[in-house]
């Protein structure tokens, strides 16, 4: 008996609406079809995982994602829990989709406990020169 008898076959369907897109290459179309295949759940795979799947570098995946960003919806684009949806998927573009409101508003930046944006080292740009808003600087005359 063969041990591969019950082994499940995986494949990727590329819808005609993706295949007929102009202005992007075949690699970008296949990546978009891969993201499309996740449906309403969204694709949560990292660039590293996608690079392993497509047998390419992480840099190539980043370039492909930039090339198809007009066809994507992204939640937490730079975060650990990034999720990507294909705009053309019928379950994603429906008004009842819970993960995205289709208004194309950017998600608010996450705030740390101190009220600053994550990754921000100073409280504001004015803190670089040492003066705070509303502070009266000494006259030079």
Q: Is residue 88 part of a domain?
A: yes
Which residues constitute the domain of residue 31?
16-114
Q: Is residue 82 part of a domain?
A: yes
Report d(CA 126, CA 128) in Å as an integer: 5
Q: What is the pLDDT of residue 56?
A: 95
CATH number at residue 27: 1.10.10
Q: Is residue 9 part of a domain?
A: no
| Residue 101 scores a pLDDT above 50 | no
Question: CA dist 110 to 7, 63, 74, 103, Å?
Answer: 43, 25, 15, 19
| Residue 7 scores a pLDDT above 70 | yes
Q: Is residue 7 part of a domain?
A: no
* More confidently predicted of 96 and 72: 72
Q: Which residue has the tokens 């795979």?
A: 45
**Overall pTM surpassing 0.75 (yes/no):** no
Q: What is the pLDDT of residue 113?
A: 54
- Give the closest residue to 45 by CA, choosing from 56, 34, 57, 55: 34
Q: Is residue 128 part of a domain?
A: no
Poorest-confidence range of 4-13, 61-70, 118-127? 118-127
Task: Find out whether 125 and 71 touch, Cβ atoms under 8 Å.
Answer: no
Q: Is residue 138 part of a domain?
A: no
Per the structure, the count of domains in the chain is 1
Top-confidence range, 35-39, 72-76, 111-115, 118-122:
35-39
Confidence of residue 105 (pLDDT cuts 50, 70, 90): very low
Q: Is residue 96 part of a domain?
A: yes
Confidence of residue 60 (pLDDT cuts 50, 70, 90): very high
Q: Is residue 86 part of a domain?
A: yes
DSSP 35: H
């Amino acid at each position: 008996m063969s041990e591969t008898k019950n082994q499940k076959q995986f494949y990727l369907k590329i819808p005609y609406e993706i295949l007929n897109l102009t202005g992007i290459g075949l690699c970008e179309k296949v990546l978009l079809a891969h993201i499309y295949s996740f449906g309403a759940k969204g694709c949560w795979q990292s660039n590293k995982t996608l690079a392993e799947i497509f047998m390419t570098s992480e840099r190539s995946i980043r370039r492909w994602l930039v090339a198809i960003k007009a066809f994507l919806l992204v939640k937490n684009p730079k975060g650990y829990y990034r999720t990507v949806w294909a705009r053309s998927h019928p379950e994603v573009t429906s008004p009842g989709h819970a993960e995205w409101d289709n208004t194309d508003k950017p998600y608010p930046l996450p705030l740390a406990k101190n009220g600053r944006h994550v990754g921000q080292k100073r409280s504001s740009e004015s803190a670089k020169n040492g003066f705070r808003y509303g502070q009266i600087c000494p006259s030079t005359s």
